[in-house]
Amino acid sequence: MTSEKIIAWIKKDLVKKTIGVIILYLAVSICIHAYLFRSEDVIIWDIKSYYSYLPATFIYFDLSLDFVYEVPGKFADYIWPMETPTGKKAIETTYGMAFLYTPFFLVGHLVALLTDFETHGYSRPYQLAMHFSALFYVWIGLLYLWKVLRRYFNDRVTAFTLFAVALGTNLFYYTTVEAPMTHAFSFGLFAVFLWRTIVFYDHPTIKNILVSGALAGLIALIRPTNIIILLVFFLWDIKTRTDLMERLRFFTGKAHWVLLMASVFVLVWVPQFIYWYNVSGQIFFFTYGERGASFFFGNPQICNILFSYKKGWLVYTPLMVFALAGIFLLPRRVPGAFPAILIFTIINIYILASWWSWWFGGGFGLRSFIDSYALLAIPFACFVDMGLRRPAWPRWIILVVMVVLIGYNQFQTRQYINNAIHWWWMNKEAYWETFLKRHPTERFWHVITIPDYEAARKGVYRELKSPGAVRHLAENQDALSWHEPLSEQDIITWITGKLWLDNDWQHRLSPELFYRYGADTLTVARVKASWMYDEKGFDYWDKRISKELIIRELKSDTLFMEKVIRPQAEDGRLSADSLLLIYATERFCQTREECP
């Protein structure tokens, strides 16, 4: 076959072939991961809550979760019920994901029934079925996204966009590794909803608006903040102020259609309302609120959520920079999509940045943005289209950068799996420590920092020391010597360590300091340490730290403590701590010859 025939074959049905390649690559990646990890690790973390509706409903017929306690410890690793205000046990999440899992769960259950595997809902057939669950919905999402993109772009742009979104973003990880998380499923639903929105405005009928209402209800059931997808529905294809007024007149005249859409939306939620009322006595039961979770709309972490080394979306999914840039190309290329996508994106960023845990727990990159990739694929395609229309050298620069970033996403995914990118303890120093390294270094474990969850629940964002960092700083403090005057840097380092590590000192780090200097506790501690040094001066801190170092030495001298300190303390006149301070002062004066 000549090269011309090969190229002609590739060009024919290019998008179909691209989707086929994507699905094959994703399937092989899932098989490799499932084989390496023996399929026993996929129902984890939040997935345990999403999934628990299924065994409770189809195997144990017990949504009260009493079966969890019939055999002590049997389900301790699988089901994490919460207690409601009525004292009943409940599943923390909504049933939306369980609904989407159901076909795969039933296949796993059938295999378990026909084989020797346990049929309790968590043996290998169930786990393996969950591994492949997201792939189906991503496939559906790609097919519908193709329908959308081909209305505005040629096959080359459409094929490249689908390839980039599927393999060049963290959608890849949440399709192949932590597949049953919500994000790949929501990506598929967003794509279908977008297509149905277009279909509705092409053919505005009651049937089409009911379908859109049901889809919106399911999307919001899975992740309630995604209710803003309705903005896309009502703002789609509005290009001018005149279009907006006509749209208002249309829905005013069809108010009963809107009511029908809202009714179908609510109908999807009715089983959830019944469940919540049964377990809590409330129709609307904010389960996350019971855990102390909330939004801080007055303190959105927009810069952090986009650019931080901790979990910044554009740091760990840099390809999406082109999608954001492409939004401003929409007015000329796809004008009907511009207001809807721009307003949705701004509000989505604001809402996600206002959640108390703006990094959304453990995960690869800012996973909550994955849901909207079906929408952002349109401005991304705009940028690709613009690039392909440029002269040769700018065109190749744009394409090469995009291809490199797709490959970089694949590399970062491997880093994340190998813990070279930590699931929630990253910072600038840790990022560059393992940059382009497949595995974490020893120093990496010393520089990572832990988010302070208790402070975050109050809207205060700061980082705490990791176990490795604690050891590292403690070793540096142990190296200090009091026999000669300490340097200014040694003093500030010592005060920093106290503020960072010692619970009795941490109250000095006020919330105002974190608002002013950022979330990193070590950075704030260094600033405060410099202030404290300047306030008291060198002589005060040199003497105080030296005495503490001497006391540490005395305490390590077992014979001195047994023969000198303990007998004197037992006389009752002075405590052991007071005696140690007296001896430390004497030793400091004798050595330094600074006392009268």
C-alpha neighbours within 13 Å on the C-beta side of residue 370: 31
Number of residues assigned to the chain: 596
Q: Determine the pLDDT at residue 511.
A: 65
Rounded Cα distance between 317 and 7, Å, is 31
CB of 304 within 8 A of CB of 312? yes
Give the single-character DSSP code of 89: E
Query: What is the percentage of the chain residues whose pLDDT exceeds 90?
Result: 63
Q: Is 502 helix (H, G, I), strand (E, B) or coil?
A: coil
Spatial CB neighbours of 143, under 8 Å, sequence gap ≥ 6: 19
Residue 341: both structure tokens together: 């996508």
Alpha-carbon dihedral of residues 231, 380, 167, 311, nearest 10 degrees? -70
Rounded Cα distance between 193 and 344, Å, is 14
Number of Cβ within 10 Å of residue 487's Cβ equals: 12
Rounded Cα distance between 78 and 75, Å, is 5
Over the stretch 334-361, which tens digit does the pLDDT of each residue have? 999 999 999 999 999 999 999 999 999 8
Lowest-pLDDT range of 41-45, 63-67, 217-221, 469-473 = 469-473
469 versus 553: which is more confidently predicted? Answer: 553
Q: Determine the pLDDT at residue 495.
A: 87
Number of Cβ within 10 Å of residue 382's Cβ equals: 28
For helices 96-114 and 46-54, the axis angle rounded to 10 degrees is: 70
The pLDDT of 497-522, averaged and rounded, is 70
Q: Determine the pLDDT at residue 501.
A: 67
Concatenating the DSSP letter of every residue in 285-348 gives --HHHHTT--B-TTS--HHHHHH-TTT-HHHH-TTHHHHHHHGGGHHHHSGGGHHHHHHHHHHH
Spatial CB neighbours of 413, under 8 Å, sequence gap ≥ 6: 170, 172, 173, 177, 364
Number of Cβ within 10 Å of residue 461's Cβ equals: 25
Q: Which H or E run includes 539? A: helix 538-556
CA 239 → CA 147, 242, 247, 252, 330, distances in Å? 21, 8, 11, 19, 11
**What is the maximum alpha-carbon separation in the chain?**
101
Over the stretch 189-243, which tens digit does the pLDDT of each residue have? 999 999 999 999 999 999 999 999 999 999 999 999 999 999 999 999 999 999 9
- 80-83 long-range Cβ contacts below 8 angstroms, 24+ apart: 80/48, 80/49, 80/52, 81/52, 82/287, 82/290, 82/291
Task: Evaluate if residue 499 carries a pLDDT over 90.
Answer: no
Q: Is 532 helix (H, G, I), strand (E, B) or coil?
A: helix
| Cα–Cα nearest to 169, from 373, 398, 422, 425 | 373
Q: pTM surpassing 0.85? A: no
Q: Determine the pLDDT at residue 234.
A: 98
Q: Determine the pLDDT at residue 39.
A: 46
The domains of the chain are located at 16-413, 445-536, 547-592
Please identify which residue in the block is written with the tokens 């840790």: 430
